[in-house]
Amino acid sequence: MGRTGSGKSALLIKFKEQIGERVIEVKPEELALEHISNSDILRFVEEIGVTLDPFFKLLWRHVFVVELLKTRFRLRSEDDKKSVMEKIRGWWKGDTEQEKRRKRALDYLERHGPSFWIETELRTREVTQKLEQSLESEVKAANILDIGVRGASKLSEDARAEVVHRVQHVVNAVQIRELSEVLDLIDGLLDDPQKPYYIIIDRLDEKWVEDRVRYRLIRALIEVVRDFFKIRNAKLIVALRRDLIDRVFRVTRDPGFQEEKYRSSFIKVSWTKDQLAQVLDARIGALVRRRYTKSAVTHRDVLPQTVEGAAALDYIVKRSLMRPRDVIEFFNACINKSIDQPRVSTERLKEAEGEYSRDRLRSLADEWSGDYPNLAFFVAGLMKKRPRKFRVGSFTDEECLAFCDQAGRQTLREDDLQRAVWNMAESGGWEPFRREVMYVFYLVGIVGLKVESYEATSWAVDGRAVSRPEIDDRTKVEVHPCFWRALGIRKEAQ
């Protein structure tokens, strides 16, 4: 788990290079899950209130189990599969309960995986179509002829309840026992602790299927990662952006949901200043070796010694969100401003800072556009030319009113910021508006908050979590140095 630019994808690439052929990469865009989005029967059952979560878990498990078997036994054809299945059955000829479970798992695989070697897309479509046929039979048995979103809206409460009861039972019963047994089977087949297998998944933040389905699929994937804990020599490694995880949990939250149960499964990708320096030096070294010399060159040879009384690297890192991408982007901007110069001067670095700061603000708005599509508008309207440190209450009622009047004349998409404007218009409450805006700015990383006089400023990227109720007009705000130049932030405090 990490923010965009924290190096999640790079870590997976490095991991795959080191482990080799026992790493299986599953690409979401190759699953062709738009079939689920376009299915009339699946949209119908979702619309009437049926949860497809058990099916989504089945789908992930099925894909992963088949990929593991294909890799473990090098299955390339139907003959390969038949030969391997016969060999595996020969291993378990006894009559113990464990062997019975494993034989049932093999039966499942032979029924639902007739084409192990074909594209993953076709396998997911095959499993989905089996469910669609079962659901359609149940719906038609309830005398429902109009299968679609419009048909769902026409159902009476009694008819809806009857169909939900019928259909949810079908979804819940979808090979649950057999799939549990398949995991036991895989655990038995991957019995060499010296040869563990890994499935890696990345790029889940891209548009591989429409958001309505994507969030449910990602939630199911996280559940399946936990299910795989019981398999000793096979693990799933999934790269997820922090904002995407928060969105998935918010959209898919159901009664009894406990987020802390999932948090223990996450490894947070974080960097120290020394690690960022190593990344930057490696970047500089590769650049210089290709063009000029094979001698070792570091940031000390290229950057000025000090900038505003601080070491150049400290100056750059302070203006990053502690991510490799930030440091690299700042350095690239310095190079672009220093073409044909022997090294980066202080003046060129300061020029580069302005370009870098504006770029990071745009990137931040893009990163959080799924949750806060109006972020750029609110930041520009409320944060420009403010002091580096101020209290929440320093946004006067008149400033808030003027901004909200301006926002009311814009075509804003619905999000927490837009709702804060409408809530203020209805209630006339200024402090709740300021609290909501500062909470969002804190969450995305534009500002840090100091809620108690005896505590240090908290930053969402690395500090303790700050909740909305802790914020009031007395809360101290500190603008992140990354955005000083883009926002024209003043040095004096308020």
pLDDT score at 106: 74
pLDDT score at 354: 96
Residue carrying the six token digits 């995305």: 444
Query: Read out DSSP for 263-328?
Result: HTT-------HHHHHHHHHHHHHHHHHHHT-SS---HHHHS-SEETTEEHHHHHHHTS-S-HHHHH
For the chain (494 residues), the mean pLDDT of every run of 10, in chain order, is 92 94 92 82 85 87 86 77 75 73 72 59 77 82 63 71 80 66 82 93 90 91 91 94 89 82 88 94 80 76 93 96 94 92 93 97 93 95 96 93 90 90 78 94 95 90 82 96 96 66
pLDDT score at 368: 93
Residue 371 to residue 417: CA distance in whole angstroms: 10
From 190, 192, 269, 253, select the one nearest 219 (Cα to Cα). Answer: 253
Question: Which class for 10: exposed (0-12), middle (13-18), buried (19 or more C-beta within 10 A)?
Answer: middle
pLDDT score at 118: 60
The Cβ of residue 326 has, within 10 Å, a number of other Cβ atoms equal to 24
Residues 6+ apart with CB under 8 A from 74: 80
pLDDT score at 138: 80
pLDDT score at 390: 96
- Helix %, strand %, coil % of the chain (to 5): 60, 5, 30
pLDDT score at 349: 97
Q: What is the largest CA-CA distance in the chain?
A: 81
The DSSP code for 421 is H
Are the C-beta atoms of residues 127 and 58 closer than 8 Å to each other? yes
pLDDT score at 463: 61
Residue 91 to residue 86: CA distance in whole angstroms: 9
pLDDT score at 152: 65
Residue 478 to residue 292: CA distance in whole angstroms: 42
